C-alpha cells in the first residue's frame, strides 16, 4: 500500500475518534465479547490492505494476519462463536491500531436491529448510539467519507491491475 494511502486512512481513523465516546481505563475489562462472539462482520479490500500494511509496519504476527484473512472469508454461520485471530487474552486486540471500522465502532454505534447482541452486563451499553437505515449517516457522519474512500480505493486497485 502506498504511503499516502496508508497515511490518509490512518488520519481518517484518528479524526474519527472525535465521534467516539471516551472512557477512563478499559470499560470492557475481560469481556471482549465483540472479539470473541460477535466477530461476524466482513471487511472491505481497503480495510484488509490497511490491516496488512499495519501488520508489516508494526512487526505484528504475520500468521495471525493470514488467519484473519481466512477468518473474513467465512460466513457468519461458519465462524459463529469463533474468536478473531487478533484477539489475545492478555492484551485484547493484538492489532488494535489497524483494526477494522466495524471493530472501532462496535459498542459505540449499533444498528437498532442488533442491539440484542450487546449483553445487559455491558458496561458501556448506556452510551451506545443507536441508528437505523434512515439515521445511519446522521448518527455516524464519518461513515459516508469512509465509503467514499472504499470506492476510490477500488478504482485505484483496478487501475493498478
pTM of the model: 0.86
Task: Kindly indicate the confidence band of residue 40, based on its pLDDT and cuts at 50, 70 and 90.
Answer: low
C-alpha to C-alpha distance for 96 and 87, rounded to whole angstroms:
9
pLDDT in tens, 124-155: 888 889 999 999 999 999 999 999 999 999 99
Residue 87, beta-bridge partner list: 93
C-alpha to C-alpha distance for 44 and 9, rounded to whole angstroms:
13
Strand pairing report for 92-93 and 87-88: antiparallel
Average pLDDT for 37-41: 62
Average pLDDT for 70-74: 87
C-alpha to C-alpha distance for 69 and 42, rounded to whole angstroms:
10
Average pLDDT for 52-80: 90
Residue 129, beta-bridge partner list: 109
Task: Kindly indicate the confidence band of residue 74, based on its pLDDT and cuts at 50, 70 and 90.
Answer: confident
**8-35 per-residue burial string, b: 16 or more CB within 10 A, e: under 16:** ebbeebeebeebeeeeeeeebeebbbbb
CA angle 115, 94, 21 (to 5 degrees): 40
pLDDT in tens, 148-160: 999 999 999 999 8
C-alpha to C-alpha distance for 22 and 9, rounded to whole angstroms:
21
- Residue in 111, 149, 123, 144 with CA at minimum distance from that of residue 28: 123
| Extents of the domains making up the chain | 3-17+28-160
Average pLDDT for 82-97: 86
Q: Which residue matches cell numbers 495471525?
A: 64
pLDDT recorded at residue 29: 66
Amino acid at each position: 500500500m502506498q504511503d499516502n494511502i496508508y497515511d490518509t486512512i490512518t488520519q481518517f481513523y484518528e479524526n474519527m475518534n472525535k465521534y467516539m465516546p471516551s472512557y477512563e481505563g478499559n470499560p470492557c475489562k475481560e469481556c471482549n465479547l465483540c472479539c470473541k462472539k460477535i466477530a461476524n462482520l466482513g471487511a472491505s479490500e481497503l480495510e484488509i490492505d490497511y490491516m496488512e500494511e499495519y501488520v508489516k509496519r508494526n512487526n505484528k504476527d504475520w500468521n495471525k494476519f493470514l488467519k484473519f484473512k481466512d477468518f473474513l472469508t467465512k460466513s457468519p454461520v461458519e465462524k459463529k462463536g469463533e474468536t478473531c485471530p487478533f484477539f489475545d487474552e492478555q492484551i485484547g486486540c493484538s492489532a488494535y491500531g489497524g483494526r477494522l471500522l466495524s471493530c472501532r465502532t462496535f459498542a459505540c454505534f449499533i444498528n437498532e436491529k442488533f442491539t440484542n447482541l450487546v449483553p445487559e452486563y455491558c458496561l458501556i451499553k448506556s452510551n451506545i448510539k443507536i441508528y437505523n437505515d434512515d439515521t445511519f449517516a446522521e448518527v455516524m457522519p464519518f461513515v459516508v467519507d469512509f465509503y467514499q474512500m472504499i470506492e476510490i480505493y477500488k478504482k485505484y486497485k483496478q487501475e493498478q491491475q
